[in-house]
């Protein structure tokens, strides 16, 4: 099925509560990472099990309906089989978009990967939380120089092979003053800058708690922000309206509008239905499937279950009911698929 026809199908299905096979997969390919960032709970899981190459391939053999695969972690490039896994995903699913989040530490490996596989289907996101030593204070010694070198290398690959490229900035109480320098740096490089406010969230920190998403929807930040901080953050985000990728620019505009309304006006507008467990499947390094980024409740295990048994069986329905009753979050990694696969993204045009 063509990309846009499949998108239309998902919009219809999500608005009439029918269950499609997922179009987007967020795959945490590893728990491991070279860094120990202050706002990240992933290091708590570094010693946990991960699927091997054959198991990962077997999981994706069952997921042949994907339009988008988002690969994250941990740090994806610590896995030596990343290129092999990605080639297999392209072979069995042929997704129109493959997004890879990275800390940018392994410059040579990352740029070589992009050069060998790169095409317009690839979207690379490099995490940077400040310029120079300010980034190093959060991520570790010499982290900025390595990540910046990776960005420069990917910019050169983009010129030849048309990859999409952006930067993820996680805002904490330690780097609010870095928004302006980061905007200038990204503008000079010609890359998009995506903002996320660091949340105080238990997801993955206590991964076997039977938490549910219902009752969430409020903001709980990792660091306390004063009203002045919030205004400064939102003013900077509002000024940063340019985008070097049309589709990502729409998502950015939609997200920023909702963030401002929630933080300044206590209004959950715009809002969307959540497509977790319908259009969006999230897979952990173990092969387990949680509800969403906010709930570590495991609904199944693709190393032990057939995908169709898991996705279209009766047991998952109580979890879908929980999602339908959720008041909604405003995390970029959930807002983007929700907006796109319900059609709510059109609100960004007005």
Q: In whole angstroms, give the CA distance from residue 149 to residue 164.
A: 17
Tell me if residue 25 falls in helix, strand or coil. Answer: strand
- The tens digit of pLDDT for each residue in 161-171 reads 999 999 999 99
Q: In whole angstroms, give the CA distance from residue 201 to residue 221.
A: 8
Residue 47 maps to which CATH number? 3.20.20.70
Kindly report which listed range (68-77, 81-90, 324-333) carries the lowest average pLDDT score.
Answer: 324-333
Residue 312 has pLDDT above 60, yes or no: yes
Closest of 66, 15, 21 to residue 273, by C-alpha: 15
Q: What pLDDT was estimated at residue 78?
A: 98
Tokens 């990472």, located at residue: 33
Q: What angle do CA 29, 182, 202 make, to 5 degrees?
A: 40
- The tens digit of pLDDT for each residue in 330-344 reads 888 899 999 999 999
The residue ranking higher by pLDDT, 262 or 91, is 91
Two structure tokens written together for 100: 């890879």
Q: What angle do CA 177, 171, 273 make, to 5 degrees?
A: 140
- The tens digit of pLDDT for each residue in 186-224 reads 999 999 999 888 876 555 445 444 445 544 455 677 788
Closest of 145, 139, 164, 160 to residue 107, by C-alpha: 145
- The answer to whether 310 and 289 have CB atoms below 8 angstroms apart is yes
The mean pLDDT value for 48-54 works out to 93
Whether the bond into 270 is cis, omega within 30 of 0? yes
Q: What pLDDT was estimated at residue 208?
A: 47
Q: What pLDDT was estimated at residue 239?
A: 80
Closest of 5, 2, 14 to residue 337, by C-alpha: 14
pLDDT band at 236 (very low <50, low <70, confident <90, very high): confident
pLDDT band at 43 (very low <50, low <70, confident <90, very high): low
When divided into structural domains, the chain yields a total of 1
Q: In whole angstroms, give the CA distance from residue 225 to residue 238.
A: 18
- The tens digit of pLDDT for each residue in 249-273 reads 888 888 888 988 888 888 888 989 9
Averaged pLDDT score across all residues of the chain? 90
The residue ranking higher by pLDDT, 306 or 202, is 306
DSSP secondary structure, 37-75, as one string: -TT--GGGGTTS----HHHHHHHHHT----SEEEEESS-
Two structure tokens written together for 65: 């309906």
Residue span of the structural domain in which 282 resides: 1-348
Q: Would the pTM of this model clear 0.85, i.e. be above it?
A: yes
Q: What pLDDT was estimated at residue 209?
A: 44
Q: Is 227 exposed, middle or buried (0-12, 13-18, 19+ CB in 10 A)?
A: exposed
Q: In whole angstroms, give the CA distance from residue 248 to residue 269.
A: 20
Q: What pLDDT was estimated at residue 207?
A: 47
Max CA distance (Å), the chain: 52
Q: What pLDDT was estimated at residue 108?
A: 98
Q: Which helix (H) or strand (E) holds 102?
A: strand 97-102
The mean pLDDT value for 226-231 works out to 88
Task: Give percent of the chain with pLDDT exceeding 90.
Answer: 66
């Amino acid at each position: 099925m063509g990309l846009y026809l499949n998108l239309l199908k998902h919009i219809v299905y999500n608005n009439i509560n029918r269950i499609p096979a997922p179009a987007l997969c967020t795959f945490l390919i590893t728990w491991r990472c070279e860094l120990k960032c202050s706002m990240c709970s992933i290091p708590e899981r570094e010693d946990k099990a991960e699927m091997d190459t054959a198991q990962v391939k077997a999981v994706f053999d069952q997921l042949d309906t994907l339009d988008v695969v988002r690969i994250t972690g941990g740090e994806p490039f610590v896995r030596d089989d990343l290129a092999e896994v990605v080639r297999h995903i392209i072979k069995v699913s042929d997704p129109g978009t493959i997004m890879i989040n990275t800390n940018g530490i392994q410059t040579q490996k990352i740029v070589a990967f992009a050069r060998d596989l790169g095409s317009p289907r690839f979207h690379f996101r490099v995490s940077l939380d400040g310029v120079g030593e300010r980034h190093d204070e959060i991520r570790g010694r010499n982290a900025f120089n390595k990540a910046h070198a990776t960005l420069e290398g990917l910019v050169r690959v983009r010129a030849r092979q048309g990859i999409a490229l952006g930067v993820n900035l996680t805002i904490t109480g330690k780097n609010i003053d870095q928004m302006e320098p980061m905007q200038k740096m990204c503008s000079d490089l010609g890359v998009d800058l995506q903002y996320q406010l660091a949340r105080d969230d238990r997801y993955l920190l206590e991964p076997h708690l039977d938490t549910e998403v219902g009752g969430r929807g409020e903001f709980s930040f990792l660091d306390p922000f004063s009203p002045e901080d919030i205004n400064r953050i939102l003013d900077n985000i509002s000024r940063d309206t340019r985008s070097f990728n049309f589709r990502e620019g729409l998502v950015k505009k939609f997200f920023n509008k909702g963030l401002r309304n929630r933080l300044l006006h206590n209004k959950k507008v715009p809002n969307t239905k959540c497509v977790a467990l319908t259009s969006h499947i999230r897979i952990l390094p173990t092969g387990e499937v949680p509800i969403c980024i906010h709930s570590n409740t495991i609904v199944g295990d693709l190393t032990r279950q057939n995908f169709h048994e898991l996705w279209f069986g009766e047991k998952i329905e109580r979890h879908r009911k929980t999602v339908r009753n959720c008041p909604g979050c405003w995390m970029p990694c959930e807002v983007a698929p929700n907006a796109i696969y319900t059609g709510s993204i059109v609100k960004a045009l007005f």
